[in-house]
Amino acid sequence: MQRIFSALIHYRNAIIYLILLTISLLYLNSNSNFHQSQIEKYGLYFSQRIYNLSYSIKKYFNLKKVNSDLFEENRKLKELELRSRSVSLYPKDYYPLRRYPFEIKKGNVIKNSFLNQRNFIIVDKGKADGIKPEMAVISDRGIIGIVKAVSENYSSIISILNQNLKINIRLKKSNAVGTLSWKGINPLEFQIEDVVRNTSIQIGDTIITGGMSSYFPFGIPIGKITDFEDNSKAGYYTINAKLFEDPSLIYHVYIIENKDLEEINRLQENTLK
Amino acid sequence: MNRNNIILIISFILLVFFQTLVFNNLYLFGFINPMVYVLFLVIYRFDYDQTFFILSSFILGFLIDFFSQSGGAHTISTLTVGFIRPIIIKNTFVVSSEIPGSFQNENRILDKYLFLSSIIGLHHFLYFVFVYFNWRAISLIIKNTLSTFVFSLILISLISVFYNKSNDS
C-alpha cells in the first residue's frame, strides 16, 4: 500500500496532467459540435481497429475447426475425384448410381518413421472408426501405404517407404503396367520394375496407381519418371521415379476402404483351388 | 509570501485580462492574434514546484478559454506545454553546467531565445492542432502557427525585457 502511495506521489505530475487533459478534452467535446463529431470519428476509427483485432484473434482460434471442416470437405472431393477417374476403367458406367466400391475415411498421422529401411506410420483412427487391415492410405498428392494392424483407436500402416511394399502402377500415357518400390535412401526416390520393353516411355511421364491390386483405386497420381535404363537383354525397363509428395512430411491422410475386397479375395481362393 | 510570488500572481491576472481584452481582438493582417499569456509559462521560476505549475497552467488556459469562448484548445496546449516544460528546459539549456533558477536569471541570449521559441512554438502548434483538429488542415495549421509565432515571440520578448529590469531593481 505504501509503495502504491509512493508511486502515486512520484508520478503525481503525470497523473495530474492526464486528469486535467481528460477534463479539458471533455470540455472541448462539450463546447464544440465540430470537435465532438471529430472526436467521435476518431473514436469510431479506434473502436473499429480494436474490433478488427479481436475479430482476427477469434478467427485464429477458430482455425482448428475450419481446418477440420476443410479436411472433411476434401475427403468428399477426393471420393468424387477417384470416382471420376475410374471412368476410364469402366467406360460404360456413366450413369450416376453406378457401383463404386471405394469409400474414403479421414485420419491424422501421429507417428511417422522414415529413417529405417522398413518404415511404419501410426494414424489416430482405429477399429472404432471402421478401419480394417489391408485398407489403402493416400494423401493429397500421392499414396502413403497400406493398413497393417488395427487397435481400438489407432492403426499402423506399412509406409510406402518400406522396401517390402510393392505397388502396382501404370504409366499414364502408355498404360504400361509396372511395380513401384522404394530404393531405401531418399524418401522421394523410387524405382519401377517389370515395365515391358516394347512400350515407349519418356522422362517426365506421370505414374498413376494401376487399379489391379484391389487396394488402391485406379488413377491416383503418384509421381513422375526422372530417368530410365534400357535393359535390352532382360526385356524390361528399369525406371527411376520421383514422388509428387514427400511421404515423411504428411499429416492428413485418407484411408480408402474397398468394400469388395473380401469378395475378390474369396473369388481368388476359389479359382486357385 | 515574497516579492517574486506577488509579481507572479499579479502578472497571471494581468496576462489573462490583457489577452482576453486586448490581444484577442487585434486581428493583425486579418487573422493573427498573438498569444501573450504564454509568458506565464516562461517567467514561472524553474526551481518552483512543478505540480503547482501544471495546475496553474491548466487554470490559466481554462480562464483564457472561458473568457474568449473558445472550445478548450488553450487549456490543452497550455497544460501540455506546462507538463513538458522541464524537458524543454533540460534540452535548451544543455550547454550550461547547471540550469538557472529562472528565465530572468539567465544571461546567455541564445539559450534564452531557444527556450522562448520552443515554448511558444510548441504551444502555438498544439493550439492550432486542437483548433482545426483535422490532419487534412495541416498546411493551415503550420501557416497559422508560424505567423502567430512571430508576433507572439516579438511581444513576449519585449515584455520579458521589462521583467528583467523590474527583477533587478
Q: Which residue of B has its CA nearest to A25?
A: B72
Interface of B with A in 15-54 (CB under 8 A): 50-51, 54
Residues A36-73 pLDDT 10s: 888 788 888 888 888 888 888 888 888 888 888 888 88
Determine the average pLDDT of the residues in A237-241: 87
Sort out which chain A residues have CB atoms less than 8 A from B133's CB and list them.
34-35, 38-39
8 Å CB contact of A20 and B54:
yes
Contacts of A139 (CB under 8 A, 6+ apart): A245, A247, A250, A252, A253, A254
What pLDDT does residue B121 have?
92
Residues A86-136 pLDDT 10s: 655 555 555 555 677 888 888 888 888 888 888 889 999 989 988 988 889
Parallel/antiparallel/unpaired status of strands A221-231 and A167-171: unpaired
Percent of chain B with pLDDT over 90: 8
Residue that the C-alpha cell 535390352 belongs to: A232
What pLDDT does residue A112 have?
86
What pLDDT does residue A272 have?
80
8 Å CB contact of A24 and B72:
yes
8 Å CB contact of A38 and B62:
no
Sort out which chain A residues have CB atoms less than 8 A from B61's CB and list them.
24
Q: How confident is the model at residue B125 (pLDDT cuts 50, 70, 90)?
A: very high
CB count in 10 Å sphere of residue A66: 10
Provide the 3-class DSSP secondary structure of residue B93: coil
Residue A36 contacts B, CB cutoff 8 Å? no
Sort out which chain A residues have CB atoms less than 8 A from B58's CB and list them.
20, 24
What pLDDT does residue B94 have?
67
Determine the average pLDDT of the residues in B49-75: 86
What pLDDT does residue A90 have?
55
* Average pLDDT in chain A: 84
User: So what's the ipTM on this one?
Assistant: 0.78
Sort out which chain A residues have CB atoms less than 8 A from B80's CB and list them.
17, 21
| Residue A76 CA: distances (Å) to CA of A70, A99, A106, A127, A167 | 10, 17, 10, 21, 25
Residue that the C-alpha cell 505504501 belongs to: A2
Determine the average pLDDT of the residues in B17-26: 84
Nearest to A42 by CA among A55, A28, A54, A56: A28
